[in-house]
Structure 1
Amino acid sequence: MSNPNALGDLLSTLLDRHPFQKNNGKGGSVNELCMQLLAEKSEASGQHLATSILNRLRDQSQENRAEFFAFLNTQLDIDAALVAKLARQYEKFPTLENFSALSRASEPQRQELFRRLNQAPGATAELVQLRSTLLSEIKEEPDLGRTDHDLVHLLRSWFNRGFLVLRQITWDTPASILERIIAYEAVHEITNWEDLRRRLHPPDRRCYAFFHPSMPDDPLIFVEVALTKGIPNSIQGVLSENRAGIDAGAANTAVFYSISNCQSGLAGISFGNSLIKQVVRDLSRDMPNLKKFVTLSPIPGLTRWLESEGRTAILPEPQTLRQYAAHYLLDAKKPDGKPIDPVARFHLANGALIHQVHSLADLSEKGLLQSGGAMVNYLYDVSKLTSNVEAFDQKNEVAAAAAVKTLARYASKSSLA
């Protein structure tokens, strides 16, 4: 059997480049250096120019950074009049020459600049960080969305699933990566090294992450997995310091209880669906004893929605909370017909089914604040993923177990509906 990660592993070896020594370069401002880079014909000189530009960008003040983004957005934009002229010419004479001219004019120069900057060793990570900074600037200058559009276009190509490497994170993983796992955990805080050890070291625990060959020591996204007998109904049970572990071979269920995106500069570039499906495939292959693949997921918008529906912060009793949670997940919609809850949208779009709803499932301060402690299991049934995706995408149909639908109906008959 061929190794599905062979290409990624090869690229990881080939592209494990180390940055040049810091060299701020000479020859003018950052903007002037960028124009030099766009005109440069020599690959070696282009790499050194790109390195110099990235070093300067890293050290820029907020004021100079804003000036740089304005330069990208205006001076390196398309010439709309020229594009319109070439489009009319191509409409009349659809030759290859006219098509090529229109294609060149339709691409902003900043896209080519980003490509050339990416020649520098370590540049991909720098550009991801640059986009993180750009996203914060867009809040004040929404017109910068044009530049963000172009950068995202390239990042989606560079971070294509075919380039990503799936690696299991274990207690033996280098400490520098483990430190990042602790820092990036966004769902259930990892409080210390012993807490991390409990999530990685026991035989009934797993953690998997996607890496990119140009960022081999910095995960893009990771998922934590508990191997259990049956489906757990609370995160307290999963993360308890005193829980009784089991042999991995005795488990029949894989529980994805935390998924964390690590790079803010890659917001909007989804890896989670590929990660979960890849882990399901790998675990199914390696552990045929596993019969169910579920999440134990938060319901982050439930309390806010209840308050918007006229409910106070005083929580209902557990069974009523389960009914409200089911009603919220199945029936509370955005204007486009998709669920309001962002976690629900993610898993349903991946083909999962709302399997069970639990009260008293997350008694942490965060869990109580966002959902009154309620959590939900999304079931990944490999045989139904495709049909569920199509129904959700085309008809906004929410796949749910009969028991969850019954809970939602009880809530819809109450004064909440």
Structure 2
Amino acid sequence: MNASTWLTRSVSRLRPDAAPAAEPEKEVASSSSSAPVKKKAALPPRTLNERLEATLRRHGEAMAPRALRRALTELQSVVDARVSEVEAGRRACEVMRWYAALDAAERRDVWLLISERFAPDAKKLSSARARHEAAVGTLDEGQAEVHLRRALASPRARLLQRFTIDPDGMRFLIDLRAELLPQVKGERRFVPLDAELEHLFSTWFDVAFLDLRRISWDSPASLIEKLIQYEAVHDIKSWADVKNRLDSDRRCYGFFHPRLPDVPLIFVEVALVDHLSDGIVPLLDEAAALATADKASTAIFYSISNTQSGLRGVSFGDSLIKRVVETLQAEFPRLKVFATLSPIPGFRPWLAKHAGEMLARLDDKRARALGQSLGSLPPTPERLLAAADDALAFDARSPVRQMLLQCAAEYLGRATVDGKPVDPVARFHLGNGARVERLNWAGDPSSKGVKQAYGLMVNYLYDLKRLDKHRALLAQGKVAVSGDIDSLFLKA
């Protein structure tokens, strides 16, 4: 190779958009001839440490080694013990501005840097653990525990905390985790960063630091727009729709954090009525006559929406309901019943897997009646599931309708994993101490309701005197249900 050729190839490798360097080739036999075919051998991805020590970027890597080292230096400057909190906050703000301009792949490199290069000191941690183990049962155990806690404190936590010095820092970290979460399952190296953020958020967003505020039609338009944006259960279709949900016979409450004063972290919509609601359509009917709130006996929680995906794992929904119940009782002493009208989002996919098992538990009489209705003796899972797609057309005497109600009761009252309800909405309300009160046929006839649960909805009842009893039952793997639900259970 002459000097000119060498220079041409070497300089081209320095370009950011350069193609990968030539890789070792292997000879493989061609399927169409006996002549060998050369095939490139794939190189394994480099570790973060290898990339930081390298000179050139390899094909498929986001940041070049030099840019990666510069990014690490900038992050380290934020936690420099020699600078004041004010200066650390200014540096964190600069990092946030720089981060905002990065593309998705470059941001992944930043996550790797924070995860791997800001971990606790391994040697100090090992020494502290050994010291604590040796001190267990002695007078020095308490001091050894303090020493271990300090060793466990990572520079990563300090780095993240310093971002919050800036007024926009909390918003930055929540958005960062929202973008990070979908990637964690496929990239275990992000787990330390995700765990650190979740731990910090659990402290920063403790309910003791949150404000409960009512959201009404008189609230700022920007806040009402947030309801439209974040409503996750029943989509808000218009301003008339949202006005109906904020009318005099309704209440809407949200939890707010001082650092995010204009965004509810979670909000709940409540209808004040005189009976246990069995369908969502009347509650969302904009033309319906207003109820007299002062005479209402029942508060129906018909929508609860979390707004920040970056706060996943931080629980404050149970505290929200408790605080709202207390607030409503103070305003409306006549209220005696507190219940939900809830979707059953996991029922259809669950039934698709367990229909055969449910059918096998029918007695001969019920199986024969259902089979005759489905046109198949004995009834088959395929026929049942096909018929269920027209669930809204079945009258009260239909064996198919009765079977679907029984399967839904089994799903909500008996289907558990590790002692917890399979359905996510059931898991939330039952974990708060509610009980499964009543199933409502055609409770949500919308396309979403049919797709989730063949139009079925459920009432969870919050019996304020039995919440602890119901929680204790759930801790034993037993779901609290009403007599109506119990009567629907299939034989074991």
TM-score range, shorter chain: 0.7 to 0.9
* 2:119–2:155 contact (8 Å) kept in structure 1: yes
Counterpart residue number, 1:262: 307
1:95: Cα distance to partner? 6.9
Instruction: Report if the CA contact (8 A) 1:256-1:295 is conserved.
Output: yes
Instruction: Please say if 1:37 is aligned against 2:82.
Output: no
Question: Residue 120 of structure 1 aligns to a residue in which SS?
Answer: coil
Amino acid at match of 2:429: H
Deviations 1:90-135 (A, max 9, x none): 4445377655443222122101111111111121111111111111
Which of 62, 71, 77 is 2:104 aligned to?
62
Q: Which amino acid aligns with 2:482?
A: A
> Residues of 2 paired with 1:89 and 1:56: CA distance?
42
1:77 to 2:145 alignment: no
What amino acid is the match of 1:322? L
Letter in 1 for 2:442: L
Q: Secondary structure at the match of 1:314?
A: helix
Select 2:293's aligned residue among 248, 251, 254: 248
The question of 1:175 aligning with 2:221 is answered yes
Residue in structure 1 matched with residue 149 of structure 2 by the alignment: 103
The answer to whether 1:127 aligns with 2:188 is no
Task: Say which one has the larger Rg.
Answer: 2
Distance 1:306 1:92, change over 3 A: closer
The one-letter code matched in structure 2 to 1:188 is H
The normalised TM-score by structure 2 is 0.75
SS in structure 2 at match of 1:383: coil
Correspondence for 2:454: 372
**Counterpart amino acid of residue 330 in structure 1:** G
Given that 2:206 and 2:316 are in contact with CA atoms closer than 8 Å, whether structure 1 keeps it comes out as no
The 2-side partners of 1:59 and 1:182 are apart by 29
- Say which SS state the counterpart of residue 79 (structure 2) adopts: helix
Q: Tell me which moved more, 359-368 or 104-113.
A: 104-113
1:383–1:262 CA distance, 2 compared to 1 (3 A): same
1:291-328: per-residue Cα shift (whole Å, max 9, x none)? 10000000111111111123424315433322221121
Q: State yes or no: 1:309 paired with 2:309.
A: no
Distance in 2 between residues matched to 1:386 and 1:96, nearest whole Å: 34
Tell me the equivalent position of 1:23. Answer: none
Match of 2:241 in 1: 195
Match of 2:338 in 1: 293
What letter is aligned with 2:441? S
Indicate how the Cα distance of structure 1 residues 176 and 30 shifts in structure 2: closer, same or farther if over 3 A, else same: farther
Give the unaligned 5+ runs of structure 1: 1-27
For residue 407 of structure 1, give the secondary structure of its aligned residue in structure 2.
coil
8 Å CA contact retained: 2:88, 2:162: yes
Match of 1:332 in 2: 415
Alpha-carbon distance between aligned partners in 2 of 1:307 and 1:254, rounded to the nearest angstrom: 34
- Partner SS, residue 326 of structure 1: helix
Corresponding residue to 1:342 among 424, 428, 434? 424
Cα drift, residue 29 of structure 1: 3.5
Could you tell which deviates more after superposition, 317-326 or 70-79?
317-326
Residue of structure 1 equivalent to 2:467: 385
- With the length of structure 1 as denominator, give the TM-score of the two structures: 0.88
Distance (whole Å) between structure 1 residues aligned to residue 296 and residue 148 of structure 2: 59
8 Å contact 1:66–1:137 — kept in the other structure? no
Higher relative contact order (CA 8 A, sep 6+): 1
Supply the RMSD in Å over aligned alpha carbons. 1.7
Kindly indicate whether the alpha-carbon contact (under 8 Å) linking 1:307 and 1:313 is maintained by their aligned counterparts in 2: no
Q: Is the deviation greater in 46-55 or in 162-171?
A: 46-55
**Contact map agreement 1:303 1:313 (CA 8 A) in 2:** no
Compute the displacement of 1:187 (Å): 0.3
Change (3 A) 1:74 1:171: same
> How far is the alpha carbon of 1:253 from its aligned partner?
0.3
1:320 to 384, 395, 403: 403
Report how far residue 73 of structure 1 moved: 1.2
Q: What is the CA deviation profile of residues 11-31 of structure 1, one whole-angstrom value per residue up to 9, with x for unaligned ones?
A: xxxxxxxxxxxxxxxxx8442
SS in structure 2 of the partner of residue 223 of structure 1: strand
Separation (CA, whole Å) in 2 of partners of 1:172 and 1:30: 46
Displacement of 1:214: 0.3
TM superposition shift of 1:67: 0.8
Matched, 1:404 2:485: yes
Q: How many residues align?
A: 381
- Residue identity in the other structure for 1:35: Q
SS of the residue 2:219 aligns to: coil
Distance in 1 of aligned mates of 2:124 and 2:437: 55
Tell me the SS of whatever aligns to 2:466.
helix
Kindly, what percent of the aligned residue pairs are identical? 40
Alignment of 1:273-292 (within 5 A): 273-292=318-337
* Structure 2 SS opposite 1:382: coil
CA contact (8 A) 1:321 1:359 kept: no
**Contact 1:30 1:56 survives alignment (8 Å):** no
SS at match of 2:261: coil
Where does structure 2 lack aligned partners over 5 or more consecutive residues? 1-68, 356-380, 395-400
